[in-house]
């Protein structure tokens, strides 16, 4: 039996943003007790990028903020080593509005800040 030939990555536009992203994204969810490193994430991202993935997901609550730091380090290393330019990658992020006590008992978001 001959080895399988990898399928070519397909792409689509991300909403109305004009950004062309791979239909497959690499997500960075991790538990804060996981032993991830910049080097291990760089290798994963480099492998994914070589196979056409340009879409990476992150969030401030993944690994209690650790995922953002590690992926950021991996992206920086890839730029420094010439594996990709920052413009080659699309990174999404999401965040959770934590409930904060106010006199009215609600959290208010103003220009990206919670007060």
d(Cα 19, Cα 14) in Å, to the nearest integer? 6
Q: Which of 41, 62, 74, 89 is catalytic?
A: 62
| Helix, strand, coil percentages, rounded to 5, for the chain | 30, 20, 50
Collapsing DSSP to helix, strand or coil, 44 comes out as: helix
Tell me, yes or no, if 11 is annotated catalytic.
no
- Find out whether 78 and 91 touch, Cβ atoms under 8 Å: no
Between vectors from CA 23 to CA 17 and to CA 29, what angle results, nearest 5°? 90
CA 94 to chain centre: 10
By annotation, the residues acting in catalysis are 62
């Amino acid at each position: 039996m001959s080895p399988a030939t990898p399928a070519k990555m397909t792409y689509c536009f991300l909403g109305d943003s004009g950004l062309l992203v791979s239909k497959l994204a690499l997500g960075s969810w991790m538990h804060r007790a996981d032993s991830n490193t910049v080097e291990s994430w760089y290798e994963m991202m480099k492998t994914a990028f070589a196979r056409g993935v340009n879409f990476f997901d992150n969030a401030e609550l993944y690994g209690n903020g650790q995922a953002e730091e590690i992926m950021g380090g991996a992206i920086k290393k890839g730029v420094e080593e010439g594996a990709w330019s920052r413009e080659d990658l699309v990174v999404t992020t999401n965040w959770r509005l934590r409930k904060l006590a106010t006199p009215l008992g609600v959290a208010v978001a103003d220009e990206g800040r919670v007060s």
